[in-house]
Structure formats: structure tokens, C-alpha cells
Amino acid sequence: ICPGLPMAARVVPLVIASFLHFFSWSFPNGKDAQQLDMNEKLDAALVKEQPLFVIPQPRTTT
């Protein structure tokens, strides 16, 4: 087992939460959440049929 695995298990959720918090997320081409295709397909793992594309924009700290 990798000695860094316990640290990574604690750091990865923090990094993901930081990305979610410090950026405003939008969909390309003016789409909204109601228009997302949430269908899945079975491959080596369960994946989305259509990849999710989002546009991050830094939030201002004013």
C-alpha cells in the first residue's frame, strides 16, 4: 500500500471543495442544468454517455 494514500484521502476532498468554492461554474452555450444529459453507459466503469463540460470563472474577492 502506498504510504501517501491516507494523506491523499484527506487532501483530495479539500482540493475539490476549494475548486467548487473559489470558482463560479457555468455551462457552455447558455445551457442550464435542466438540459443536461444524465444518461450512463457501462464500460470498464459506469460513465456518462455525454461528458460534462463546465466553464470555471474565478470569483472576485471584494
**pLDDT beyond 90 at 23:** yes
Contact 47, 41 (CB under 8 A): yes
pLDDT at 62: 61
In angstroms, the Cα distances linking 39 to 32, 34, 43, 46, 55 are 16, 13, 13, 10, 21
Radius of gyration of the chain (CA): 16
Q: pTM for this one?
A: 0.64
Provide the pLDDT confidence category of residue 2 given band limits of 50, 70 and 90: confident
Taking only the tens place, the pLDDT of each residue in 27-47 is 998 888 888 888 999 988 889
pLDDT at 25: 92
Taking only the tens place, the pLDDT of each residue in 4-21 is 999 999 999 999 999 999
- With a CB cutoff of 8 Å and minimum separation 6, the contacts of 5 are none
Q: What is the grid cell recorded at 28?
A: 457552455
